[in-house]
Structure 1
């Protein structure tokens, strides 16, 4: 017998040593991965934007403190979902959701933006802090953590009408168990009630299964926040977290009594878990606790929001620090001016590899941009628009210098006909620009981006309407960027707009684009030269040049 005991103890010791070795090896491996991947985009080929944006969609109704929520139209025009995939370096799913919401939200107050920048600098300066924090955030890296925000924003869940019967059955089984000590026959009654309770238990489990995942994620989020707050540098930056955790501790204790799908992930706890499950069925523990927790959640709604925000802010700051590391020498922090001026040096588009940097200086003037197709007009105005968003949401721009007014952003770049909705390009553009006009008179300055305004109409009406609308939008400290092929607008808008252009050259019968913005209006006739390169008839070329000369005289 003694030998058997020694063998068991030896096996237990071996198991523990193997477990500790694997755990230590896993930690070291993960730390090496975090070091190796610092400053690099994630390797995941597919991310579920629908799950990621749920938090953003749920916060739309809390927009009273927001200057602007970036609409789907603007997000599509500026390819913000692709931008998000590039800049997302978060570890947790909560951080990923929070980062996405930040990218789609411009706050009225810059306090949170400045705080985020300061904490990103703290992370950058302390590698150990960053690595320890990333290891802690790993607890929330699985997709189930996307559902934590459902605790705050889910629709109200009502308890079933037969809850009084549930309480009576639970009490009866307690009494049966006690009485059976003296009268074993009552065990039959106990098991009879157990069968009834089993039906109630699994009925309720099926009904609320969608919510139990989010309850389990709260426990993970709570533990993550607790570990994060244990670090002095983090707790000093978020002094309110200790009180927040204290407020949520009773809720955490209550949740431990509910069966959650992720509580039995390890084989070593399966037996204990099964015994606990039988106990919960016998006395209706889970259904009673579940609806008690739901009531508690309603009273702790703001605390849960703050818990999500705390974890999300920490993870987002790490993502920003990583992004800045990868853009080393190519990024700057924005300067927000009150003078309705824009001074930009070396701006690039984050999605374009080997993008040509460009400069722009506008002093109380707007931008009228001309140039041929493929010369870079639309890419440039998108570059400025994207960096306006990044500057006002993540305090980071892909430029050497980016001075701009803190403003709302609107765009009209990608517009399509809709046969299903019976909407033409022209009427869709009319609707969008009508909204611009309505927004342009607000107290806050607006930044309007327009690409090829009214290109679906004839030249005379297009130029006339374009001039009137562009002059109107330029009022009230607004900024307007418009790209166009209509050189007639240069003279008509010379008092309100500075003229810039993109151009190309023809070398060895090929078009060469330098993608560099230049001061002044476009004056070249390369469109006709391209006809020559493609061997159009000489008579067509001569006729085209003669028509241009005639129009220039007029």
Structure 2
């Protein structure tokens, strides 16, 4: 196998060789829970979408097996909450980086397991599709054919005729069973390919990983009687004729379908073990490719984030910011100054630090957090929910997350934007105050300057700003202390070519409100 897949060598630290597609990510999203511990804290769909983690997953997914797809996805969705759980991932990543020859040999085995997104991966676990009587009947017909062929040398008639009839019948019956079992066979072959990979991996040395080595050997031994991937794979053209003649597909299907159903806990463990190994190799490769720093220190105590020169990994030319957060913060600023990007940057770095022990910063020091966001919600037309109702539900979920021993890191952008100004400020201040009383760090971005005064005892104020240079708006994308003192909405109207009299009217009405405390009625 080493010589067969030479094109895989030297790929570590490079972009993925086989980029995953959108429909394939949807399949991973559908099945990943089947192979993870659902009792652990998992990033919800809102947070996943807010942070564009599909794109990040696509960028770093240099896995080679289907199990690797699922476990890499799961690692991003389930950041570790303790040093113990993160240590195993880090140990495997360090092995992948240091033991080059072993890593490359393992990658060849993982590639052999394959990726298939069209199969129902839960099917072999949900029902025992094997049929003992069908298996016995198939074996009896094959044996009868051989016995008849043997006797045909002594008595051509009638045994030669019987052997010929049985040969034709076996081929015909194999074809019928092939069609009947085709869908179930696909899923079973996928499982068998990973079981076969465990047998191969168990023979590798895994220097410095005695626990993983022992576990692979135990899994291989537990499935020692399952060694028939090639016998089942009807895509192998060279063996298809013999498979039909000897009814190999149905015989092996019944044998191994039963084995997988009865030992499904072991098979799930195989997927998790292979997938974790594959995902850790991919994560270490991405760390090198993205030049991310492993200068990370995580604490199981306190609530804080200290980082130097942190950036957002999806930006082409990111501006770095120092992050020194020990309290709740309200972040104000005009449009396009960088408030939302700043929140996403911090959340993404926290996820990477807790999932893979590296960050997009020169150094990263922080507590472990349960991470959640409420940023870019949309109307849910299928459930007849408005943006406002969806956001209220989302915020309630965030508050529930804050009643735990492990602190939450909550990112809230433009809170309650879907309702009128007076109720928004009243409700927002109450909700944000509740966050401040909980076990969390809440970072909220808002245009409502009133909140900076109402919540000044609960939240530290920071802002982003901009300046005009020759009719051009310039942003520094740097965080500054205190609430914002600038606005740019009316200036943007001018830059975008609105008529000057409209702009002057807008400025006049704004000045009137600031001086009088009420809006001027527009004359018809």
TM bucket normalised to smaller:
0.7 to 0.9
After superposition, the Cα gap between the structure-2 partners of 1:222 and 1:146, relative to the gap in structure 1 and judged at 3 Å, is farther
**Equivalent position SS for 2:226:** helix
Residue pair 2:468, 2:474 contacting (<8 A) in 1 also: yes
Match of 1:414 among 376, 379, 384: 376
Superposed counterparts of 1:520-535, under 5 Å: 520-530=482-492, 535=500
* Structure 2 match to 1:546: 512
**TM-score, normalised with respect to structure 1:** 0.82
* Structure 1 match to 2:275: 312
* Structure 2 match to 1:201: 174
For each residue in 1:269-299, what CA deviation from the matched residue of structure 2 results, as whole angstroms up to 9, or x when unmatched? x2xx256325413xxx542332222111123
Superposed counterparts of 1:257-336, under 5 Å: 258-264=231-237, 270=238, 273=239, 276-281=242-247, 285-328=248-291, 330=293, 332-336=295-299
Does residue 373 in structure 1 map to residue 319 in structure 2? no
- Give the alignment's Cα RMSD to 1 decimal: 3.2
Distance in 1, matches of 2:428 and 2:328, equals 14
Does residue 357 in structure 1 map to residue 329 in structure 2? no
**Equivalent position SS for 1:63:** coil
Gapped runs of 5+ residues in structure 1? 1-19, 265-269
**TM-score, normalised with respect to structure 2:** 0.86
Match of 1:159 among 131, 134, 157: 131
* Structure 1 match to 2:360: 398
**Equivalent position SS for 2:393:** helix
- Deviation of 1:177 (Å): 4.3
**Equivalent position SS for 2:296:** coil
Residue pair 1:334, 1:403 contacting (<8 A) in 2 also: yes
Residue pair 2:292, 2:358 contacting (<8 A) in 1 also: no
* Structure 2 match to 1:242: 217
Distance in 2, matches of 1:275 and 1:453, equals 65
Match of 2:73 among 100, 123, 129: 100
- Deviation of 1:522 (Å): 0.9
**Equivalent position SS for 1:143:** coil
Residue pair 2:466, 2:474 contacting (<8 A) in 1 also: yes
Residue pair 2:334, 2:487 contacting (<8 A) in 1 also: no
- Deviation of 1:145 (Å): 8.2
Residue pair 1:93, 1:146 contacting (<8 A) in 2 also: no
After superposition, the Cα gap between the structure-2 partners of 1:388 and 1:156, relative to the gap in structure 1 and judged at 3 Å, is farther
* Structure 2 match to 1:51: 27
* Structure 2 match to 1:7: none
Gapped runs of 5+ residues in structure 2? 519-524
- Deviation of 1:399 (Å): 1.8
Query: How many residue pairs are counted as aligned between the two chains?
Result: 510
Residue pair 1:474, 1:480 contacting (<8 A) in 2 also: yes
After superposition, the Cα gap between the structure-2 partners of 1:224 and 1:539, relative to the gap in structure 1 and judged at 3 Å, is closer
Distance in 2, matches of 1:127 and 1:167, equals 47
Match of 2:53 among 80, 85, 90: 80
After superposition, the Cα gap between the structure-2 partners of 1:181 and 1:358, relative to the gap in structure 1 and judged at 3 Å, is same
After superposition, the Cα gap between the structure-2 partners of 1:436 and 1:191, relative to the gap in structure 1 and judged at 3 Å, is same
Does residue 388 in structure 1 map to residue 360 in structure 2? no
- Deviation of 1:370 (Å): 0.7
After superposition, the Cα gap between the structure-2 partners of 1:43 and 1:299, relative to the gap in structure 1 and judged at 3 Å, is closer
After superposition, the Cα gap between the structure-2 partners of 1:165 and 1:30, relative to the gap in structure 1 and judged at 3 Å, is closer
* Structure 1 match to 2:400: 438
Does residue 426 in structure 1 map to residue 426 in structure 2? no
Distance in 2, matches of 1:28 and 1:410, equals 42
- Deviation of 1:528 (Å): 4.7
After superposition, the Cα gap between the structure-2 partners of 1:444 and 1:156, relative to the gap in structure 1 and judged at 3 Å, is farther
* Structure 2 match to 1:267: none
**Equivalent position SS for 2:261:** helix
* Structure 1 match to 2:105: 132
After superposition, the Cα gap between the structure-2 partners of 1:258 and 1:373, relative to the gap in structure 1 and judged at 3 Å, is same
